[in-house]
Amino acid sequence: MMSGRDLVSRAAPLLACLGLLGLWEIAALVLSTDSFPTAWVAIRAIPSILGDKESLINILDSLRRMAIGFAVGVIVSIPLGLMMGRSRLVASFFNPLLMVTYPVPKAALMPIIMLWLGVGDLAKTLVIFLGVSLPVIYHSFQGAKAVEEKMLWSGAAGNILFNSLDMGQYDTVYAMIIIIGAMGIGLDAAFENLRGKLVKWSEPSFEIPLSFA
Protein backbone atom coordinates (compact mmCIF):
# COMPACT_ATOMS: atom_id res chain seq x y z
CA MET A 1 0.00 0.00 0.00
CA MET A 2 1.40 3.39 -1.01
CA SER A 3 2.00 6.03 1.62
CA GLY A 4 0.65 9.54 1.31
CA ARG A 5 4.06 10.84 0.26
CA ASP A 6 4.38 8.26 -2.52
CA LEU A 7 0.87 9.06 -3.73
CA VAL A 8 1.62 12.79 -3.87
CA SER A 9 4.94 12.08 -5.63
CA ARG A 10 3.22 10.01 -8.31
CA ALA A 11 0.42 12.55 -8.73
CA ALA A 12 2.82 15.53 -8.94
CA PRO A 13 2.97 15.67 -12.78
CA LEU A 14 -0.83 15.56 -13.02
CA LEU A 15 -1.23 18.22 -10.34
CA ALA A 16 1.35 20.41 -12.10
CA CYS A 17 -0.55 20.10 -15.41
CA LEU A 18 -3.85 20.93 -13.73
CA GLY A 19 -2.29 23.92 -11.99
CA LEU A 20 -0.83 25.17 -15.29
CA LEU A 21 -4.22 24.81 -16.99
CA GLY A 22 -5.85 26.70 -14.12
CA LEU A 23 -3.35 29.57 -14.42
CA TRP A 24 -3.88 29.60 -18.18
CA GLU A 25 -7.67 29.81 -17.71
CA ILE A 26 -7.40 32.68 -15.23
CA ALA A 27 -4.89 34.61 -17.36
CA ALA A 28 -7.06 34.24 -20.47
CA LEU A 29 -10.14 35.46 -18.61
CA VAL A 30 -8.25 38.44 -17.20
CA LEU A 31 -6.66 39.46 -20.52
CA SER A 32 -9.82 38.69 -22.53
CA THR A 33 -8.25 38.88 -26.00
CA ASP A 34 -9.12 36.90 -29.13
CA SER A 35 -5.48 35.87 -29.59
CA PHE A 36 -5.34 34.14 -26.18
CA PRO A 37 -8.29 31.74 -25.72
CA THR A 38 -9.05 30.01 -22.46
CA ALA A 39 -7.69 26.55 -21.74
CA TRP A 40 -11.18 25.06 -22.00
CA VAL A 41 -11.71 26.50 -25.50
CA ALA A 42 -8.35 25.10 -26.64
CA ILE A 43 -9.10 21.67 -25.16
CA ARG A 44 -12.49 21.60 -26.90
CA ALA A 45 -10.70 22.12 -30.24
CA ILE A 46 -8.57 18.97 -29.81
CA PRO A 47 -11.24 16.45 -31.01
CA SER A 48 -11.82 18.40 -34.24
CA ILE A 49 -8.07 18.39 -34.94
CA LEU A 50 -7.70 14.68 -34.22
CA GLY A 51 -10.79 13.95 -36.31
CA ASP A 52 -9.45 15.78 -39.37
CA LYS A 53 -7.57 13.54 -41.83
CA GLU A 54 -5.22 16.27 -43.05
CA SER A 55 -4.35 17.26 -39.49
CA LEU A 56 -3.53 13.65 -38.61
CA ILE A 57 -1.32 13.36 -41.69
CA ASN A 58 0.58 16.50 -40.65
CA ILE A 59 0.98 15.18 -37.08
CA LEU A 60 2.25 11.84 -38.42
CA ASP A 61 4.70 13.69 -40.68
CA SER A 62 6.02 15.57 -37.65
CA LEU A 63 6.38 12.31 -35.71
CA ARG A 64 8.20 10.75 -38.67
CA ARG A 65 10.71 13.62 -38.77
CA MET A 66 11.14 13.40 -35.00
CA ALA A 67 11.76 9.64 -35.17
CA ILE A 68 14.28 9.95 -38.01
CA GLY A 69 16.15 12.83 -36.36
CA PHE A 70 16.20 11.07 -33.00
CA ALA A 71 17.30 7.72 -34.45
CA VAL A 72 20.12 9.21 -36.53
CA GLY A 73 21.18 11.40 -33.61
CA VAL A 74 21.41 8.44 -31.25
CA ILE A 75 23.18 6.21 -33.79
CA VAL A 76 25.83 8.88 -34.41
CA SER A 77 26.12 10.48 -30.97
CA ILE A 78 26.43 7.54 -28.57
CA PRO A 79 29.42 5.88 -30.34
CA LEU A 80 31.08 9.27 -30.83
CA GLY A 81 30.62 10.25 -27.18
CA LEU A 82 31.93 6.88 -25.99
CA MET A 83 34.99 7.17 -28.25
CA MET A 84 35.66 10.66 -26.93
CA GLY A 85 35.46 9.36 -23.38
CA ARG A 86 37.93 6.54 -24.01
CA SER A 87 40.34 8.26 -26.44
CA ARG A 88 42.16 11.51 -25.74
CA LEU A 89 42.92 11.93 -29.44
CA VAL A 90 39.25 11.77 -30.44
CA ALA A 91 38.28 14.03 -27.53
CA SER A 92 40.91 16.65 -28.40
CA PHE A 93 39.58 16.78 -31.97
CA PHE A 94 35.84 17.03 -31.24
CA ASN A 95 35.90 18.94 -27.93
CA PRO A 96 36.49 22.39 -29.49
CA LEU A 97 33.63 21.81 -31.93
CA LEU A 98 31.29 20.87 -29.08
CA MET A 99 32.36 23.83 -26.96
CA VAL A 100 31.46 26.19 -29.82
CA THR A 101 28.15 24.62 -30.91
CA TYR A 102 26.71 23.25 -27.64
CA PRO A 103 25.71 26.61 -26.05
CA VAL A 104 24.11 27.91 -29.27
CA PRO A 105 20.28 27.60 -29.24
CA LYS A 106 19.24 25.28 -32.04
CA ALA A 107 16.50 27.73 -33.08
CA ALA A 108 19.24 30.27 -33.83
CA LEU A 109 20.64 27.89 -36.45
CA MET A 110 17.33 27.67 -38.31
CA PRO A 111 17.93 30.67 -40.66
CA ILE A 112 21.35 29.32 -41.66
CA ILE A 113 20.02 25.79 -42.19
CA MET A 114 17.09 27.13 -44.23
CA LEU A 115 19.47 29.10 -46.45
CA TRP A 116 21.53 25.97 -47.03
CA LEU A 117 18.81 23.32 -47.31
CA GLY A 118 15.55 25.19 -47.86
CA VAL A 119 12.41 24.64 -45.78
CA GLY A 120 11.80 20.97 -46.57
CA ASP A 121 11.97 17.86 -44.43
CA LEU A 122 15.77 17.72 -44.53
CA ALA A 123 16.19 21.09 -42.77
CA LYS A 124 13.63 20.20 -40.09
CA THR A 125 15.16 16.77 -39.51
CA LEU A 126 18.62 18.32 -39.24
CA VAL A 127 17.45 20.69 -36.50
CA ILE A 128 16.02 17.71 -34.58
CA PHE A 129 19.26 15.80 -35.15
CA LEU A 130 21.33 18.67 -33.73
CA GLY A 131 18.99 19.07 -30.77
CA VAL A 132 19.36 15.37 -29.96
CA SER A 133 22.99 14.72 -30.83
CA LEU A 134 24.83 17.43 -28.91
CA PRO A 135 23.41 16.60 -25.43
CA VAL A 136 23.77 12.86 -26.11
CA ILE A 137 27.41 13.27 -27.19
CA TYR A 138 28.17 15.32 -24.09
CA HIS A 139 26.56 12.91 -21.63
CA SER A 140 27.99 9.84 -23.38
CA PHE A 141 31.40 11.49 -23.22
CA GLN A 142 31.09 12.30 -19.52
CA GLY A 143 29.67 8.86 -18.75
CA ALA A 144 32.46 7.07 -20.60
CA LYS A 145 35.09 9.14 -18.76
CA ALA A 146 33.55 8.23 -15.40
CA VAL A 147 33.50 4.47 -16.05
CA GLU A 148 36.48 2.58 -14.66
CA GLU A 149 38.36 0.18 -16.92
CA LYS A 150 37.33 -2.85 -14.87
CA MET A 151 33.68 -1.85 -15.26
CA LEU A 152 34.14 -1.85 -19.03
CA TRP A 153 35.40 -5.38 -18.92
CA SER A 154 32.66 -6.55 -16.57
CA GLY A 155 29.97 -4.88 -18.63
CA ALA A 156 31.05 -6.47 -21.86
CA ALA A 157 2.21 18.45 -36.39
CA GLY A 158 4.02 22.19 -37.08
CA ASN A 159 2.19 23.08 -40.32
CA ILE A 160 -1.19 23.12 -38.54
CA LEU A 161 0.15 25.44 -35.87
CA PHE A 162 1.47 28.14 -38.21
CA ASN A 163 -1.43 27.94 -40.69
CA SER A 164 -3.93 28.37 -37.84
CA LEU A 165 -1.91 31.30 -36.50
CA ASP A 166 -2.01 32.99 -39.91
CA MET A 167 -5.79 32.51 -40.15
CA GLY A 168 -6.43 33.75 -36.62
CA GLN A 169 -7.71 30.35 -35.41
CA TYR A 170 -6.19 30.75 -31.97
CA ASP A 171 -8.19 27.92 -30.39
CA THR A 172 -6.57 25.53 -32.90
CA VAL A 173 -3.13 27.03 -32.19
CA TYR A 174 -3.38 26.44 -28.47
CA ALA A 175 -5.01 23.05 -28.97
CA MET A 176 -1.98 22.02 -31.04
CA ILE A 177 0.29 23.29 -28.24
CA ILE A 178 -1.56 20.99 -25.82
CA ILE A 179 -1.29 18.05 -28.25
CA ILE A 180 2.44 18.63 -28.79
CA GLY A 181 2.99 18.97 -25.03
CA ALA A 182 1.07 15.74 -24.38
CA MET A 183 3.13 13.97 -27.04
CA GLY A 184 6.31 15.24 -25.40
CA ILE A 185 5.24 14.07 -21.94
CA GLY A 186 4.22 10.68 -23.34
CA LEU A 187 7.51 10.21 -25.18
CA ASP A 188 9.46 11.38 -22.13
CA ALA A 189 7.65 8.88 -19.90
CA ALA A 190 8.18 6.09 -22.46
CA PHE A 191 11.92 6.76 -22.78
CA GLU A 192 12.27 7.08 -19.00
CA ASN A 193 10.55 3.71 -18.59
CA LEU A 194 12.77 2.18 -21.29
CA ARG A 195 15.87 3.68 -19.66
CA GLY A 196 14.87 2.16 -16.31
CA LYS A 197 14.53 -1.26 -17.90
CA LEU A 198 17.71 -1.15 -19.98
CA VAL A 199 19.93 0.61 -17.41
CA LYS A 200 18.76 -1.06 -14.23
CA TRP A 201 21.73 0.12 -12.13
CA SER A 202 21.04 3.81 -12.72
CA GLU A 203 19.04 6.02 -10.39
CA PRO A 204 16.20 8.23 -11.68
CA SER A 205 16.86 11.94 -11.55
CA PHE A 206 13.52 12.64 -9.81
CA GLU A 207 11.12 10.70 -7.67
CA ILE A 208 8.31 11.38 -10.13
CA PRO A 209 8.08 9.01 -13.13
CA LEU A 210 9.18 11.65 -15.64
CA SER A 211 12.72 12.84 -16.29
CA PHE A 212 11.96 16.41 -17.40
CA ALA A 213 15.45 16.49 -18.86
Report yes or no on 194 lying in a domain: yes
Mean pLDDT of 175-182: 70
Cβ-contact 140, 75 below 8 angstroms: no
| One domain for residues 118 and 137 | yes
| One domain for residues 99 and 167 | no
Report yes or no on 210 lying in a domain: no
| One domain for residues 151 and 91 | yes
Answer with the residue of higher pLDDT: 95 or 187.
95
pLDDT at 154: 43
pLDDT at 211: 40
pLDDT at 209: 41
**pLDDT tens readout for residues 131-159:** 888 888 888 887 777 665 544 444 445 55
The number of distinct structural domains making up the chain is 2
| One domain for residues 165 and 152 | no
| One domain for residues 139 and 84 | yes
pTM over 0.85: no
Helix pair 53-86, 88-101: axis angle to 10 deg: 140
- Average pLDDT of the chain? 75
Three-state SS sequence of 39-80: HHHHHHCHHHHHCCHHHHHHHHHHHHHHHHHHHHHHHHHHHH
Report yes or no on 11 lying in a domain: no
| One domain for residues 128 and 191 | no
Least confident of 27-36, 49-58, 113-122, 187-196: 187-196
| One domain for residues 80 and 99 | yes
| One domain for residues 193 and 144 | no
Cα–Cα distance, 110 to 135 (Å, whole number): 18
| One domain for residues 147 and 74 | yes
| One domain for residues 150 and 166 | no
| One domain for residues 102 and 141 | yes
Reported as a pLDDT band with limits 50, 70 and 90, residue 26 is very high
Q: Which DSSP helix (H) or strand (E) runs through 147?
A: none
Kindly tell me if the per-residue pLDDT of 87 is higher than 70: yes
Q: What percent of the chain has pLDDT over 70?
A: 73
pLDDT at 52: 82
**pLDDT tens readout for residues 44-56:** 888 888 888 888 8
Report yes or no on 167 lying in a domain: yes
Cα–Cα distance, 101 to 129 (Å, whole number): 13
Kindly tell me if the per-residue pLDDT of 85 is higher than 60: yes
Report yes or no on 69 lying in a domain: yes
Report yes or no on 177 lying in a domain: yes
Kindly tell me if the per-residue pLDDT of 205 is higher than 50: no
Cβ-contact 97, 103 below 8 angstroms: no
Cα–Cα distance, 139 to 210 (Å, whole number): 18
Q: Residues near 134 by Cβ (< 8 Å), separated by ≥ 6?
A: 77, 98, 101, 102
Report yes or no on 148 lying in a domain: yes
Cα–Cα distance, 100 to 97 (Å, whole number): 5
Q: Residues near 212 by Cβ (< 8 Å), separated by ≥ 6?
A: 188, 205, 206
Task: Say how many Å lie between the first and final Cα of the chain, rounded.
Answer: 29
| One domain for residues 150 and 69 | yes
Count CA within 13 A, CB hemisphere, residue 28: 18
Domain boundary among 156, 171, 190: 156
pLDDT at 207: 43
Report yes or no on 142 lying in a domain: yes
Q: Where in the sequence is the domain holding 40, given as residue range(s)?
A: 20-51+157-199
